[in-house]
Structure 1
C-alpha cells in the first residue's frame, strides 16, 4: 500500500496543494440546483456536494477503462462526477438514495449511457451486475456509511475490479496505512487482503458545499491478482485480526493464545520476536497466522493426491481404472457429478473456483462438483462432494444425465439438485468464494459472459429445466 499525492502534498500534511487544478469555483450552480429541488443538505445522508469541475474531472480520469466494462457510481448527488465518468465510454450505473436527486439525474442524463437507480447503496443488490463484467466502483462516499459501503462493493463476491473513492481523510489514512503506524489496524487488513490501496490526493473542505469540517482524500483500490497470497479462510482471517487488534498495546502471544497455542514456533516461522504486537505484522504474516490457526499447512488443490477413477466406454460401462493425471493427460472417459444447491428463494449457489485449482482456476462453477472415485457410484459421490466442498448434508436428487464429450472434459456427468440455505464451510484451497444468485441472473450472465464459467457448469445449465 503506497502513498502518492499528485498535487505534490504528502498525505500527512494538513492541506492539499492550492494549484490551478484545485482552484475553487463559485458555489452558485450547486446552491441553485438545491434550491430548485427544495433540498437542504442532510448530515444524516452525508450530503456534501463537490463543486469543483477540475477535481471531478481528475477523479474520473483515475478510472482505468481498459480493465473494466462498467462503472458503478455511489452517491452521485448532483452529478459532479457522473458525466465525466460517462465520457470514459463505459456504461455508468448511478445509485442515489435521495429521491429528488435521483429524479433530477434521470431526467438530465437520459440517452447518455447513464442508468440512474434510486436505492440505498448499503443494501444494493450487486448480483445482476456480474453479467455486465468487471466494474469500477467510484464515489464520494458519505462519511457515516463508508465502512458498510466498502464491505458491500469491495467484498468477497463483487464484480468490482478497481475502486476510485473519496472518503474522509482519516479513514483514507487507515485504509492505506503501512505496518508499525498508528493508523494501521483491523480495517486496513480487512480491505488489504483483497485490494491494493493507494492514497492519491488530499481534497480540502472548500471544494464542497456545505463545507465539511474535515479534509477528504481520494484512494485508488486495485483487486489483488489471483494467487498473490496462499489460500486463507476469510472468516477466520477476520476473526484472528480482530482478536489481535482488540488491545493494541498487548502482545499477540497473549491475545492469540486460544488461536495459536505454540506461539514460539509460529513467531519463528514469521521471523519476528515473541513479544511482537499486532501493528508490527504485515499482510502476508497475518495470512500466515490465520492459516496456522486453522491448521492449514498443505494446499491440496495445488498438489492433488493420487486419485483413481474408473474408466468407462461410450455407454458409461466400466472398462478399467487410471490415475487422475493419466485420465486428464490422455483425455479418457470417466465420471463426474455436479450439484445445484438452491435456497428457499429458489436462488442457485455458485462457487468461484480457487486460483490454485489445476483445471479451470478462477472461474464460476456449480454449487459443488467432482469426480466419481474408482468403485464409487454417482449418488455416493454427490453426497460426498456436498460434504467436502460445502460442509453440508442434504438429500441429493438426480435430475439429469449428460454424455461425455469434449465440452464436459470427457466426463459422463450426473446433475443433482439439493435444497439447502447455508451457511457453508468453503475450503479456501478449493473455493475462493461463493454466493446465491437468482436463476434469471445466472442465465443472463452465462449468456453474456460464458468465459466466466467452467465448461461443465455451462453444460449442466443448458439441460437444467426452467
Structure 2
C-alpha cells in the first residue's frame, strides 16, 4: 500500500511510477481521505512521527508540514529515491528498509524523543505480521494510525462473543485500545484493491489490562486456544491445564475461547505458569 500525490502536484523531473504487485502497492490518492487521516492523527510539532510505506508521498507532505521530526520507512528503492528527491532539504529522515525487520526502539533512542507516533497504509499481504512486529515495540510507541483490509480491522477491534474475535483481537488489545475510525472504498486507491479498507487507531496502554507472570506464556496460550476456537477450554487446554485448574483461574472449563475477556486470558496464563507444565510452542492460526 502507500499514498500518491494528486496528479496536479507531481514534481518536475520525476517519472510516473506504476504500482508493483510484489510489494502489494495500492496508492491512496483521495484528498478528502488523506485529510481525514491527518485530522484523526492530530499531530503536534514536537511529535516524532514514523510513516510506514509512504508510497509517492501524498500523506508524507502533510505530515512533514505538521511535525518537526518525521521518519519514513520504505522498502522499494525506486520509491525511496523519489521521496529523497522530492523532500530534499525538508525535515524528513528516510530509512530504506523492510518494516518487518525495522528496529523502532533504536529509532526512538536515536532521537531521544519518546514515544513514537506511527502511521501507515500497510500492504495487505504483510499487515498482520507487521502489526505483531510493531506491538513488540509498544514501549516506545504512543499510538498508531494504520490502514488495514476491513476484515483484518474487524478482527483487531472485535469484542468477546463477536464472530471476528480471535488471537489478533486479544493480542492487539492486550497492548492497545483499538478503535476503527472509518472505512475507505476501493476507488480511493490507485490501482483499486478488490476489498474495502479501514483506518484503525491503536493507542498504547500505559499498563497491561491485567497482571501476567509471563507475556510469552500468554501469547502461546492465546495461540493455542484459538487454533481450536470451537472447542471448549476443557478440550483445547488438555495437557496444559486440568478442568480443576481452569476453575481455579476463575474460568468455566466449558467456555469457548471466543467468549473470554482479557482478564480471563491473563488468569489462565498465570495458572499455566503456576502449574509448571511443559508444553510445545503453539502454532498461530
TM-score (norm 1): 0.54
Q: Report 1 or 2 for greater relative contact order, CA contacts < 8 Å, sequence distance ≥ 6.
A: 2
Q: Give 1:278's match in structure 2, choosing from 257, 263, 277.
A: 257
Instruction: Name the CA distance, whole Å, in 1 between partners of 2:254 and 2:84.
Output: 58
SS of equivalent residue, structure 2 residue 58: coil
Q: When the two structures are aligned, how many residues end up with a matched partner?
A: 268
Deviations 1:264-313 (A, max 9, x none): 4533653x5431000000111111111111019xxxxxxxxxxxxxxxxx
Instruction: Name the CA distance, whole Å, in 2 between partners of 1:220 and 1:84.
Output: 18
Q: Give 1:116's match in structure 2, choosing from 91, 94, 103.
A: 94
The answer for the alignment partner of 1:360 in structure 2 is none
> How many Å apart are 1:130 and its aligned residue?
2.3
Instruction: Name the CA distance, whole Å, in 2 between partners of 1:80 and 1:96.
Output: 14
The runs of 5 or more residues in structure 2 that have no matched partner are 276-285
Q: Within the alignment, does 1:69 sit opposite 2:50 as a pair?
A: no
TM-score (norm 2): 0.86
Instruction: Name the CA distance, whole Å, in 2 between partners of 1:141 and 1:237.
Output: 26
Distance 1:28 1:111, change over 3 A: closer
> How many Å apart are 1:29 and its aligned residue?
5.0
**Counterpart contact for 1:244–1:278, Cα < 8 Å:** yes
SS of equivalent residue, structure 2 residue 21: coil
> How many Å apart are 1:68 and its aligned residue?
7.3
The answer for the alignment partner of 1:200 in structure 2 is 181
The answer for the alignment partner of 1:126 in structure 2 is 104
Name the structure where strand makes up a greater proportion of residues.
Answer: 1
Q: Residues 233-244 of structure 1: matches in 2 within 5 Å?
A: 233-244=214-225
Q: Residues 18-97 of structure 1: matches in 2 within 5 Å?
A: 28=7, 36-37=14-15, 39-65=17-43, 69-97=47-75
The answer for the alignment partner of 1:105 in structure 2 is 83
Name the structure where helix makes up a greater proportion of residues.
Answer: 2
Q: Give 1:180's match in structure 2, choosing from 148, 161, 169.
A: 161
Instruction: Name the CA distance, whole Å, in 2 between partners of 1:193 and 1:81.
Output: 29
Q: Give 1:214's match in structure 2, choosing from 153, 178, 195.
A: 195
> How many Å apart are 1:222 and its aligned residue?
0.6
**Counterpart contact for 1:249–1:277, Cα < 8 Å:** yes
Q: Residues 219-230 of structure 1: matches in 2 within 5 Å?
A: 219-226=200-207, 228-230=209-211
Deviations 1:22-50 (A, max 9, x none): xxx997459x78x9535331122011000
Q: Residues 58-457 of structure 1: matches in 2 within 5 Å?
A: 58-65=36-43, 69-131=47-109, 132=111, 133-156=114-137, 159-226=140-207, 228-261=209-242, 263-264=243-244, 266-267=246-247, 269-270=249-250, 272-295=251-274
Deviates more, 1:138-147 or 1:80-89: 80-89
**Counterpart contact for 2:174–2:209, Cα < 8 Å:** no
SS of equivalent residue, structure 1 residue 94: strand
Which of the two has higher C-alpha Rg? Answer: 1
